[in-house]
Structures are given as structure tokens and as C-alpha cells.
A and B are shown apart, each in its own frame.
Chain A
Amino acid sequence: MKYKTVVEDNIDILVCGAGLGGTGAAFEARYWGQDKKIVIAEKANIDRSGAVAQGLYAINCYMGTRFGENNPEDHVRYARIDLMGMVREDLLFDMARHVDSAVHQFEEWGLPLMRDPKTGTYQREGRWQIMIHGESYKPIVAEAAKKSADKVFNRICVTHLLMDDAKENRVAGAVGFNVRTGDYHVFKSKTVIVSAGGASNIFKPRSVGEGAGRVWYAPWSSGSAYGLLIGAGAKMTQMENRIVLARFKDGYGPVGAYFLHLKTYTQNGVGEEYESKWWPSLQEIVGKEYLDPELSHSTHRPIPTCLRNHAMIQEVLAGRGPIHMVTMEAFQDPHLEEIGWHNFLGMTVGQAVLWAATDVDPKYENPELTTSEPYVMGSHATGCGAWCSGPEDVSPPEYYWGYNRMTTVEGLFGAGDAVGGTPHAFSSGSFTEGRIAAKSACRYIDDGKADGISVSEQQVERRREEIYKPLETYTVYRNEITAGSVNPNYINPRQALDRLQKLMDEYAGGVTVSYMTNEKLLNIGLKKMKLLEEDLEKVAAENIHELLRAWEIKHRQMASEAVIQHTLFRKETRWPGYYYRGDYMKVDDANWHVLTVSRRDPETGEYTMEKAPCYHLVSMDEEEAA
């Protein structure tokens, strides 16, 4: 084969995917491992990669403890309430107690954080969000990561983790290929931090054709965080907890600043407030403990995001759509109007383009909102990801196995979307998790846990063959047909993606079925998923770019299978508005106040599911009262 093999050996810390989590990991690793070899492998260019490539107009996770605003446990409670109880509170507390130090360093690095002119504190958008001029958020943190890393390999699509042949269940590096040269890259490393992305584009999007790129989460977030970890046999948690976003229609422009800062609000197609009418029936599904509008009103206890989605979905199904965001009041203030536009330009330019294209001036017209197709990720208002160890001073025994943020595979750590049970980390929290993982990885090496790793030539060669197989398949079968993309021997990556999206949409609770599924549907979905997995052995790539897409779809498929397995396992409707189990239409705390944990056997592909206890962070006073 014409492609070279490029081996990078003796790495101490390999960072796979350098979005906010990966840049945090590479940055911090240098401090705890000043003599260690730190290498980044990134699918794109770390100056503009990951979900923050485009920029952000807010940092959504900042405690403000220095200003007396919040303590870490306040944020844990917020995340618990928003996710209907299903979070890893040890990991959340740990992230929250460190996150401010990351944000304060960002400011020092040159990221423009807005200040409240009256108080001198950071300009709050909401209780947890601070406003920033963050167009260059990613290039700024990338600078820090580049200074720390020995080498940055841009344009390397990491396809698999390497496993130690000397000791079972221990990581030994990763392999992938260069999407420009096509060369095969082998990274032999003592530890690996997977900080790759969550999964967009696994459920059929609302948009068609060109617009399929205008997904809420970046189209390059190909679920590699999950593909890599599941492929290595790491345990996963909360993979059923997909997220649906209520956003401006088609452009999926963010609504946070609009709700929180501009004080815009929603109404139905005939101009009525609609949420409250759905609360009584919703209360029958989730119970008063999870939805108590009066209490929420008097104490500012937030109403979970999924439940507000539910009201929007039901109102539209009842025929009173569309849902509008009432902007006409706020936008009369020229200052707020400017913020409204800046908010899009800073993080979702496409929404500004769409309003310019459709002459929607929110000063004179209330724009439409919609609920998106589902996404699988672990850093926004949901917590899919790997089952990771927590910090020794916080975690109960079931959550602790020696190294903070280490997965169930030795030497394999996670950050950002890769870590399960830690929603509401967002950009700053993902960066913080990367830092935590890096410190742990250094410690793991210093403790001698990575001694004696051996990778056989056989393993390296087997992966090489596997990686290039789609090119081979194309070469072998292309000339059996005259022209075009219809071939009885293979499918191309786009065709595979279409199949995956249709399958997930119809059987796993996508947008065309109003997020509804049940056991029968999920079982059919699983069967079809297996067939897709088989056909992905025959996915064909015409060139290196298509080879990238081929591996992205393989990672997406792995993530999707986990979603179905987990959704099947959890026999309740825990998050109405994210998805519904039609056969179990209630929250069931008696049986399901637990975290779901899965493992896919890398040899057989068989899944095993288990329940893990859900611990909560309670104050001593609360405990005494109980």
C-alpha cells in the first residue's frame, strides 16, 4: 500500500481530540509532567476544532465564588434538578470546585470577559452564565495547549485505541490516519485522554439537503468520544440521555442570552402563554417532586429543560404552533438589540444569515422556535459518556477506582463529552475536566502503573488493514458498475449516514415520531443496527476524505447502538421532552433512580447492562433533618 506508517513512540500522555477538554488536558499535563512527553492528535486544526471552533458568546459554567455568588454544591443541585436526578454528583462537585480557576486564567490569557460596570463582577447572563466576547475563545485556549504539548498532530483522524498486549484491559496508545496524506499514524503512549466529541447527526435532522449541516452540535462531532471508548471496552453510562434543544427554527441559534439576559419569553401561535397548561398532566408523569411550578415560582427552583421542551412539543402537537420567541419588546432597546445580534455572530453565525435571508427583524417580528432532533453528548444539558472514577476525597466506593476521570480501562481517561454523568460542564467545565484528567494521568504514570506496556506488531498491522479497508473495498468493486453511486457490493459513507439517521429517528425516538419509542420499536431498531454494522464492514471510500467520513459513521454507529441499548434498559420515561418510552410513560423512582451502565464486549459485540447507585450530595443539615 502506498501510505507510510508514522510511529510516534514513548508518549506519556496522548490527547485524542483537542476541543475544550483536550486543550485543557494538554495544557495542565505540562505542569504536573514537566519532563513528560505530551502529544495531541486532532482530526482538524486545533485553532478551530471542536464545538467551540466558531466561538462562544457566553461561558455557561462559572460559579463566581470569589464574588460570593455560588458554591460548587449549588451548581451540583442545579444539574441534578435539570437532569431529573440522574447525574454523577462527585464528578460535578469536582468540576465545579475547579472551574473558576480555569475561567480566571482564560481572562489572563486575553479572552475578553464582560464586566458589570456597576459591581465590577463578571457580567452575568444567568445564574451560571457569564458573557464574553468569545469569537477567539478556541484559538486562545489552543495557544495555551500548543505551548504545553511536545507535538500537535493536526488532521489525524484517530480511529482506534491501542491496547496493551502484556496486561489485559490497559490502554497503550491509539492509531489513525492523516486526512491529508493518508499516512497511517501509530501513537504508542502510556496514557490516553479521550477528549473527542459527542454525536451530532445520528438522528435524522429536521433540515434536508444542504441544510443538514446546520445541526445544533457541530457536524464534525462524530461521536468519536464514544466510538473510541466503547471500542476499547470501556463502560459507558447514561447513553439513553440524549438531548433535544429548543432553539430558533432552522438556524438553531442559541436562546440562553435571549431568555436570561434580554428577558424575551415564549408564546404559542395565537399569542398565549402555553407552558403552565401542560404542567398538571406532566406532573402525573414525573410527580410533584420533579415538577412543582408554585415552588419553582417562589424559590426559583429551575424547571428542568426537558420538561419545558415537553410543553413546547405538546403545544405544537395540539395544533397551536408555531411557538414564538417574543423579541419585539426587548429589541426596542438598541443596546439589547445589539446584544441579540452579537450573540449569534459570536457563536451561531448561521442564525444571523438566516434572519438576513428571510428579512426577520426581531424588533418588528417575533421569530419562530422549534425543538431539534436529538443529540448524544455529555457537556451541555445532558450527561452521556464513559463511566469514570471520581476524586478520592469525594467519591463513594462504587464511583472510585484510583484515578480521577479514569475510565474502566486502565490508563484511559476522559474529559468533556467523553465523561458520563457530568452535564452542564459546557466549555469551561470541559476544559476543567481535561485539566483534572491530565493531573491524574501524570500521577498514574508516576505510580508506575504504566510500566511494561507492550504493543504487538500484529495489533498495529491488524488496525492498519482495518483502517484502509473502505479504500480497498472501493477499488475492488468500483469497476463492476459503469458509473454513479449505486453498487451491490458497498455503500458509501453518506448512504450509511442516511440509513443510521432514519433508523434512529423512527425506532429510537427522533423528531418525526415526536421523540416516542418503546420496547418493540427499540428491538427492531437494534436488529437493523446490527445489519448496518455488518454493512459498515462494506462501506467504501473513494478517497481519503471519504475515508474520514467512513470512520466518522463507524463511530456514530457505535454511539447509536449504545443509545438504543441504554434506552431499552431504562424502563421508564425519565426525561419527557427528551424522549418517551411509550410503554413506561412515568418516572419510576422505585426502580430507576439509578444510573445505567453498559459494556460492549470488544470481541463479541455483546452488551451487558447494569444499574449503578445514584448518590447525591446532601448538606449535613439536610441529612439531620431527614
Chain B
Amino acid sequence: MPTFVYMTRCDGCGACVDICPSDIMHIDTVTRRAYNIEPSMCWECYSCVKACPHQAIDVRGYADFAPLGHSVRVKRDEEKGVIAWRIKFRNGKKDMELLAPITTKPWGSGTPQLRDVEAPTQEQRDSQQLFNEPKYIRFDEGGVHTLESNGLKMKEGVYY
């Protein structure tokens, strides 16, 4: 749904401008607050909604097929590692709260620094292995699958 920004909540910090994948959240030069400059290029991905520190951004369903009066709000918490949603129907009959984890590790702690791991050997360079392979493929002693290991052949012709 195209996003919009509440005047009283936005302080023009630009977090939405920084994150929008479509480059459509910009700061209005008169009000010094953010707004959606191109609703027809908005994927309603909620990246800006999640990034806003003041919950100043919301969405209103696309005018060409979504009637007014609904609400889908979200709060994403990296520290707690969860995201909380609330969905309210136009007719008021449904009001759902849904919670989901977003990570299982303290933020940024799980990814490795490959500059510091032991450098690959020439044999590994010449092989078909990628980083952490073959171990991470199956967690067994076996190697990377090949045509030979799997009893296969590349063959020209019509096969279904």
C-alpha cells in the first residue's frame, strides 16, 4: 500500500529515506518531513514503516482496489529479535495480533569474518568446493556431488 507519513510524528530524521528500496521516501523541503513522492512505485514492502523510530509511517491501501478503513501496523525490535503485527479489518470484525521471531542470534553476531579464517589451499581452489564445504553440505564425511558420484551423464537429445 502506498505509504504516508503523519505530520505530528515525523521529525524528518530520514531513516525512511535511507532504507526505501524504491527511492520514493523523500524529505519535503517545505515541511522538512518525509513523504512518499511516487506511490505508484511503492511495493508496500514496509521497509520504511519498520525503520521509522517514531512510528510516523503508515500505509493506506492502493486507491484503485483497496477501500479505506483498514490498518496493518508493525513494530520490529532487533534487540528482542521479534516483529509484532496488528491487522484490523475495515468492518471491525477482525482484529489480529501476530508475533514472529526475526533472528535467533544477537544482531550481527552470527556472521563470520572471512578475512580471518584459514586461507584455502591450492587443492581447495582447484576443487568445486565453496567456503565451509564439503562439510556444510550434509554434515558428513562425503564430498561435493559430481556426475560420477551420482551416476549421471550430460546427454544431448529430448528427455522429459
Complex contacts, A148 vs chain B, CB 8 Å: 114-115
Contact A109:B110 (CB < 8 A) given known A357-B61, A623-B155: yes
Is there contact, CB below 8 Å, between B115 and A48?
Answer: no
**Interface segment out of the listed A95-103, A238-246, A379-387, A571-579:** A95-103
**Interface segment out of the listed A2-10, A28-36, A185-193, A277-285:** A28-36
Closest Cβ–Cβ distance, residue B118 to chain A (whole Å): 10
With an 8 A cutoff between CB atoms, is A290 at the interface?
A: yes
Complex contacts, B88 vs chain A, CB 8 Å: 356
Is there contact, CB below 8 Å, between A179 and B98?
Answer: no
Is there contact, CB below 8 Å, between A357 and B69?
Answer: yes
Contact A211:B19 (CB < 8 A) given known A112-B104, A356-B94, A623-B153: no
Which of A48, A432, A615 counts the most B-chain CB atoms under 10 A from its CB?
Answer: A48
Complex contacts, B78 vs chain A, CB 8 Å: 136
B145 to chain A: closest residue by CB? A97
Number of interface residues, chain A, beta carbon within 8 A:
105
Closest Cβ–Cβ distance, residue A70 to chain B (whole Å): 11
Instruction: For A341, give its contact among B67, B98, B102 (CB under 8 Å).
Output: B98
Is there contact, CB below 8 Å, between B117 and A31?
Answer: yes
CA separation between A393 and B44, bound complex, in Å?
44
With an 8 A cutoff between CB atoms, is A430 at the interface?
A: no
Contact A112:B101 (CB < 8 A) given known A97-B137, A100-B138, A101-B136: yes
Is there contact, CB below 8 Å, between B72 and A346?
Answer: no
Is there contact, CB below 8 Å, between A620 and B100?
Answer: no
CA separation between A44 and B26, bound complex, in Å?
13
Is there contact, CB below 8 Å, between A48 and B158?
Answer: no
Is there contact, CB below 8 Å, between A53 and B40?
Answer: no
Contact residues of A: prevailing secondary structure: helix
Closest Cβ–Cβ distance, residue B78 to chain A (whole Å): 8
Complex contacts, B87 vs chain A, CB 8 Å: 341, 352, 356
Is there contact, CB below 8 Å, between B136 and A105?
Answer: yes
Complex contacts, B109 vs chain A, CB 8 Å: 110
A399 to chain B: closest residue by CB? B154
With an 8 A cutoff between CB atoms, is B20 at the interface?
A: yes
CA separation between A354 and B125, bound complex, in Å?
51
Instruction: For B91, give its contact among A50, A93, A359 (CB under 8 Å).
Output: A359
In the complex, the number of residue pairs spanning A and B with C-beta atoms less than 8 Å apart equals 304
Contact A349:B46 (CB < 8 A) given known A112-B102, A136-B102: yes
Is there contact, CB below 8 Å, between B130 and A353?
Answer: no
Is there contact, CB below 8 Å, between B47 and A54?
Answer: yes
Which of B67, B111, B114, B147 counts the most A-chain CB atoms under 10 A from its CB?
Answer: B111
CA separation between A620 and B26, bound complex, in Å?
60
With an 8 A cutoff between CB atoms, is B31 at the interface?
A: no
With an 8 A cutoff between CB atoms, is A144 at the interface?
A: yes
Contact residues of B: prevailing secondary structure: loop
Complex contacts, A30 vs chain B, CB 8 Å: 114-115
Closest Cβ–Cβ distance, residue B141 to chain A (whole Å): 12
With an 8 A cutoff between CB atoms, is B13 at the interface?
A: no
With an 8 A cutoff between CB atoms, is A111 at the interface?
A: yes
Complex contacts, B37 vs chain A, CB 8 Å: 545
B124 to chain A: closest residue by CB? A32
Closest Cβ–Cβ distance, residue A451 to chain B (whole Å): 19
Contact A439:B130 (CB < 8 A) given known A89-B154, A133-B101: yes
With an 8 A cutoff between CB atoms, is B119 at the interface?
A: yes
With an 8 A cutoff between CB atoms, is B123 at the interface?
A: no
A84-116 with Cβ < 8 A to chain B: 85, 89-90, 93-94, 97-98, 100-101, 104-105, 108-112
Using an 8 Å CB-CB cutoff, how does the interface string of B137-150 with A read, 1 for contact, 0 for none?
Answer: 11110001111001
With an 8 A cutoff between CB atoms, is A303 at the interface?
A: no
With an 8 A cutoff between CB atoms, is B83 at the interface?
A: yes
With an 8 A cutoff between CB atoms, is B152 at the interface?
A: yes
B51 to chain A: closest residue by CB? A48
Contact A207:B64 (CB < 8 A) given known A72-B150, A616-B157: yes
Using an 8 Å CB-CB cutoff, how does the interface string of B103-139 with A read, 1 for contact, 0 for none?
Answer: 1110111111111010110000100101111101111
Closest Cβ–Cβ distance, residue A255 to chain B (whole Å): 18
Closest Cβ–Cβ distance, residue A286 to chain B (whole Å): 11
Is there contact, CB below 8 Å, between A210 and B2?
Answer: yes
B146 to chain A: closest residue by CB? A393
Instruction: For B160, give its contact among A27, A94, A289 (CB under 8 Å).
Output: A289
Complex contacts, A53 vs chain B, CB 8 Å: 21, 43, 45, 47
Is there contact, CB below 8 Å, between A357 and B70?
Answer: yes
Using an 8 Å CB-CB cutoff, how does the interface string of A552-568 with B read, 1 for contact, 0 for none?
Answer: 00000000000000000
**Interface segment out of the listed A212-220, A259-267, A417-425, A472-480:** A212-220
With an 8 A cutoff between CB atoms, is A49 at the interface?
A: yes
Complex contacts, B19 vs chain A, CB 8 Å: 45, 47-48
Complex contacts, A272 vs chain B, CB 8 Å: none
Closest Cβ–Cβ distance, residue B44 to chain A (whole Å): 4
Instruction: For A101, give its contact among B26, B102, B112, B133 (CB under 8 Å).
Output: B133
Is there contact, CB below 8 Å, between B145 and A219?
Answer: no
With an 8 A cutoff between CB atoms, is A485 at the interface?
A: no
Closest Cβ–Cβ distance, residue A25 to chain B (whole Å): 11
Is there contact, CB below 8 Å, between B1 and A353?
Answer: yes
Rank and list the top 10 A-B pairs by shortest CB-CB distance, nearest first.
A110-B105, A211-B62, A101-B136, A356-B70, A350-B44, A54-B45, A357-B66, A30-B114, A357-B70, A616-B159
Give 11 CB contacts A-B under 8 Å: A45-B20, A71-B150, A94-B128, A98-B137, A135-B83, A143-B111, A208-B64, A356-B90, A394-B146, A616-B157, A618-B153
Given contacts A48-B51, A110-B103, 11 further A-B contacts (CB under 8 A): A44-B21, A66-B137, A71-B145, A72-B145, A100-B138, A211-B62, A218-B43, A338-B98, A356-B89, A548-B23, A617-B155
User: Residues on A close to B: CB < 8 A?
Assistant: 27-28, 30-32, 34, 43-45, 47-50, 53-54, 65-66, 71-73, 80-81, 85, 89-90, 93-94, 97-98, 100-101, 104-105, 108-112, 133, 135-136, 140, 143-144, 147-148, 155, 179, 207-215, 218-220, 250, 289-290, 338, 341-342, 345-346, 349-350, 352-359, 361, 391, 393-396, 432, 435-436, 439, 443, 446, 545, 548, 589, 593, 613-623
